[in-house]
Amino acid sequence: MSYGRIFRDGLWQQNTGLVVLLGLCPLLAVSATVVNAIGLGLATTLTLIFSNLAVSLTRGILRPEIRIPAFVLIIASVVTVIQLLMQAWFHDLYRILGIFIPLIVTNCAIIGRAEAFASRNTALPSVVDGLSTGLGFLLALVMLGAFRELAGYGTLMRQASLMFGEWGESLQLTVIPNHPGFLLALLPPGAFIGLGLLIAGRNWLDSHLAHRQQTRGDTTGNPVITVPAE
Amino acid sequence: MMGMLKSAAALGLVAIVGTALLTGVDTLTAERIAAQERRVMLEQLGEIIPDHYDNAILEDRIAFRDEAHFPRGQWVTAYRARQRGEPVAVVLKFNAVNGYNGNIALLAGINADGTLRGVRVTAHKETPGLGDAIEVEKSDWINHFSGKSLASPETAGWAVKRDGGAFDQFTGATITPRAVVDAVRLALEYFSVNQAFLFDTAADPAGSSAP
């Protein structure tokens, strides 16, 4: 499998949040603002890279019957290390993300990639797979976070100082001045509605692109495909 | 048989490597995490404690329980501010238990004369947009506690306006401010009776029970 293919799968074709629909609990819970989304997305990406790496390196000694418990041990260790590092260096962000950092352990996407990819591939492709899956999850989180923050607060990147220090305060963008606040977007129903819209948008884009490819085939003189696009 | 042993050994190896990694990272970060937690605590205390104290306020603390004033078996921590050994103020860290959604963690700074220096909410799960006006970042409601005491307003006034008291409620949220007002009043009542204990230098710094 080529690296380009791995990247396309992780980011788009098999996107964890929008296609495979794994790890919805953190996706829905921590996407009220863009900054929270970036924080959890990066932590999840790091977890995926290192757990995939560890799993691919140990795949020779892990027999099938102990694979799952070993994966759980590896993932839990990686997450705890990331949690400690965040607590030490990004303490304020850690206090906001709180319980969702340790809960990365329960994100099915991570054990899913360990089982479906890293346990069958060598180290480098596994790291690339972890990176692209993580970035795909980050992408879904940030899009949902942007949608909810924009609708809910009328801003983007609020509280960016939690992640970037003093400098972050200049990152906040007030898109809708004097926004009265839209509670629904910030509460759990807003997360579900936003995710639904994102998935619909992604599917529309996919079928739109497929359709265009089809009509382009027409103009270049290739045989016309008569199978309907939808 | 050999296969089983090999599997067990492999699993054991993963566990040992994982534990070693965690121990190492924990050792490396423990000091920094403790410093970060100290900084957060000092920042929170700093907003409601006077400038004129000269003791190590984070270390000069006692923990106690008192079901009548701080219900549901919670441990209350009291941080004492002193100037040349004389009591200046105490900050109580406790929970309001009657919130709309779980505990509301509070810090209440009380001067030695029984007036409130200020109150802050440090953690809560109240509804965003309704109950979260108790946060100082969201509204200045919490600042209305400053300067209040059991004498002003008098007992009947320690309630939200809907219940005939002196404190505003929020549009659409009465339960949250009611819980905070009640909890702060109970803390003041505890202070008025147990002031000597709260400032007692001889009191066991950790884990002593209320008199």
Q: How confident is the model at residue B57 (pLDDT cuts 50, 70, 90)?
A: confident
Which stretch of A8-17, A197-206, B101-110 has the lowest confidence by average pLDDT? A8-17
Closest approach of A227 to chain B, Cα-based (Å)? 50
**Angstrom distances, CA of residue B95 to CA of A168, B110, B183:** 32, 16, 8
Of the partner residues A61, A77, A87, the one whose CB lies closest to the CB of residue B36 = A87
DSSP code per residue over A137-192? HHHHHHHHHHHHHHHHTSEESTTTHHHHGGGGGGG-EESSTT----HHHHSHHHHH
**Angstrom distances, CA of residue A61 to CA of A57, A64, A70, A124:** 9, 10, 11, 18
Put simply, the answer to whether A89 touches B32 (Cβ < 8 Å) is yes
pLDDT of residue B118: 92
Q: Is the predicted pLDDT of residue A192 greater than 90, yes or no?
A: yes
Q: Kindly tell me the burial class for residue A18, based on how many C-beta atoms sit within 10 Å of its own C-beta (0-12, 13-18, 19 or more).
A: buried
Closest approach of B20 to chain A, Cα-based (Å)? 10
Least CA distance to B22: which residue of chain A? A81
d(CA A28, CA A187): 10
| A139 backbone dihedrals φ, ψ, rounded to 5° | -60, -50
Q: Is the predicted pLDDT of residue A29 greater than 80, yes or no?
A: yes
pLDDT of residue B188: 94
Which one has a higher pLDDT value, A96 or B133?
B133
pLDDT of residue B187: 95
Residue A69's closest CA among B6, B23, B14?
A: B14
Which stretch of A72-81, A210-219, B5-14 has the lowest confidence by average pLDDT? A210-219
- For the segment B75-109, what is each residue's pLDDT rounded down to a tens digit? 999 999 998 888 999 999 999 999 998 899 999 99
Residues A24 and A17 sit within 8 Å (Cβ to Cβ): yes
Interchain CB contact of A75 with B (< 8 Å): no
Handedness of CA A4, A144, A173, A45 (dihedral sign): negative
d(CA B132, CA B101): 11
Interchain CB contact of A87 with B (< 8 Å): yes
Retrieve residue B161's tokens: 């306006």
* Contacting residues of B for A187, CB less than 8 Å apart: 127-128
Residue A40's closest CA among A53, A57, A23?
A: A23
d(CA B3, CA A228): 54
d(CA A11, CA A19): 10
Q: Is the predicted pLDDT of residue A144 greater than 90, yes or no?
A: yes
Put simply, the answer to whether A80 touches B22 (Cβ < 8 Å) is yes
Put simply, the answer to whether A81 touches B25 (Cβ < 8 Å) is yes
Least CA distance to A180: which residue of chain B? B129
- For the segment A66-124, what is each residue's pLDDT rounded down to a tens digit? 899 999 999 999 999 999 999 999 888 888 787 788 888 888 899 999 999 999 999 99
A66, A67, A101, A153, best to mutate vs chain B, most B CBs in 10 Å: A66
Retrieve residue A186's tokens: 């910030």
Average pLDDT over residues A56-67: 88
**Which of B56-73 are b and which e, b meaning 16 or more Cβ less than 10 Å from the residue's Cβ?**
ebeebbbbbebeebbeee
Closest approach of A80 to chain B, Cα-based (Å)? 7
Q: How many residues does chain A have?
A: 230
d(CA A102, CA A97): 10
Orientation angle between helical segments A34-58 and A64-89, nearest 10 degrees: 140
Residues 92-111 of A with CB under 8 A from B: 92, 95
Give residue for tokens 């996919």: A206
pLDDT of residue B74: 94
Among the residues of B94-174, which ranges form H helices?
none
pLDDT of residue B181: 95
* Contacting residues of B for A61, CB less than 8 Å apart: 10, 13
| B97 backbone dihedrals φ, ψ, rounded to 5° | -95, -10
Closest approach of A10 to chain B, Cα-based (Å)? 27
Put simply, the answer to whether A66 touches B130 (Cβ < 8 Å) is no
Average pLDDT over residues A24-31: 85
> Percent of chain A scored above 90 by pLDDT?
44
Put simply, the answer to whether B33 touches A88 (Cβ < 8 Å) is yes
Closest approach of B39 to chain A, Cα-based (Å)? 10
Is the bond into A102 cis (omega within 30 degrees of 0)? no
pLDDT of residue B194: 92
Put simply, the answer to whether B13 touches A61 (Cβ < 8 Å) is yes
